[in-house]
Structure 1
Amino acid sequence: MLGVKRLYFLLPDVDTARRIVDELLLAHVPYEHIHVLARRNTPLEELPEAGVAQKTDLVPAIERGLAVGGSMGALAGLVALAFPPAGVVAAGGAVLFGALGGAGFGAWVSAMVGVSVPNSRLERFAAAIEQGMLLMMVDVPKDRVEEFEDLIRQHHPEADIEGTEPTIPAFP
């Protein structure tokens, strides 16, 4: 999914969301790339409900954890090279294993925190969702963004196009 952007649409009701999902599927957008978020107790029926990765800060937290943990692990490996513990010979592998271990540990710890925090990118939609609107997030190739925005504008004037997110991580 290289070169993907996330489109945001605020929709008035489940019926509109269902019609848009059908049109996106006909336009060859995979079902897994469509995510709908609504207030609690809204029956979404067969609509693709947003998952943990969309609802929480999981992905940004993992990214931060990998960066910080990997840096700290590499630093610990460099310290082990410069000041080896008594009786231990440290080589370049200490830096590599320190970076990998630190990145893994950092990602794990950050994921535990991130999964419990609401997605900060969705704060601007919170009031509309609480008022009963649905937020649809659609991941599309960046060279087709205008095509999908035009499709929604032409067929669904009741939908509010709320823009795009610059980049979507390759995981999860």
Structure 2
Amino acid sequence: MRKRIYWLLPDLGSARRTMDELLLARVTEHHIHFVAREGAAMDGLHPANVLQTSDLVEAAQAGALIGSGLGAAGGVAAAFAFDPGSPAALVIGIAAVGAMLGTWSSSMIGSSTPSRRLKRFERAVDDGQYLLIVDVPRTRVSQIEALLQRTHPEARFEGMEPNVPAFP
């Protein structure tokens, strides 16, 4: 399991130095993400992608849940209406189709919705600061925090999330 740590850095130079220090501390680039205002220089940084900056994952999960529930309800109604040979297979099949359609349609909406987790950083990012999002194993959280506090007094620790989504 990993924890997601947030730091605000004042400028591009500080962000680059932080990136280099995290790489030297053996945090892989795949787990280091930066968010900056639109049009800001991101040379030498690993920018956050749509999985970190939108509500895509949460929307897809909600869509799967709602779609499968509605599909199951539709499957039960269809089983009563058509008297199929295997009502359980019909209910499961329609629930699966509902889950797929719900996931697809909700993820389309979620990918265009800014992340609720990053909402609190909007003002700082708009003012030109760089947001560092780093996912570290639970056993290394205190080590990485101490490294950043020691080497970057200009940076501001902004908290952590206890649970990092599985794939972003």
Distance 1:155 1:11 in 2: 12
Please identify runs of 4+ aligned residues in structure 1 that moved more than 3 A: none
Shift of 1:45: 0.7
Report what 2:160 is aligned to: 164
Distance 2:93 2:5 in 1: 39
TM-score by length of 1: 0.91
Give the total of aligned pairs: 168
Tell me, yes or no, if the aligned pair for 1:62 and 1:114 is still in contact at 8 Å: yes
Distance 2:76 2:144 in 1: 49
1:62-112 Cα shifts (integer Å, max 9, x gaps): 11111111222222223333x1426x4343212222222111111100011
Tell me, yes or no, if the aligned pair for 1:73 and 1:102 is still in contact at 8 Å: yes
Structure 1 residues 2-13: aligned runs within 5 Å = 3-13=1-11
Tell me, yes or no, if the aligned pair for 1:74 and 1:98 is still in contact at 8 Å: yes
Report what 1:52 is aligned to: 50
Give 1:147's aligned amino acid: Q
Structure 1 residues 5-154: aligned runs within 5 Å = 5-81=3-79, 83-85=80-82, 88-154=84-150
Tell me, yes or no, if the aligned pair for 1:80 and 1:90 is still in contact at 8 Å: no
SS at match of 1:42: coil
Shift of 1:145: 1.4
Distance 1:50 1:128 in 2: 16
1:34-75 Cα shifts (integer Å, max 9, x gaps): 110001111111200111111111111111111111222222
SS at match of 1:99: helix
Structure 1 runs not aligned, ≥5 long: none
Shift of 1:130: 0.8
Identity of aligned residues (%): 45
Give 2:18's aligned amino acid: I
SS at match of 1:46: coil
TM-score by length of 2: 0.93
Structure 2 runs not aligned, ≥5 long: none
Tell me, yes or no, if the aligned pair for 1:11 and 1:17 is still in contact at 8 Å: yes
Distance 1:25 1:70 in 2: 42
Distance 1:75 1:32 in 2: 41
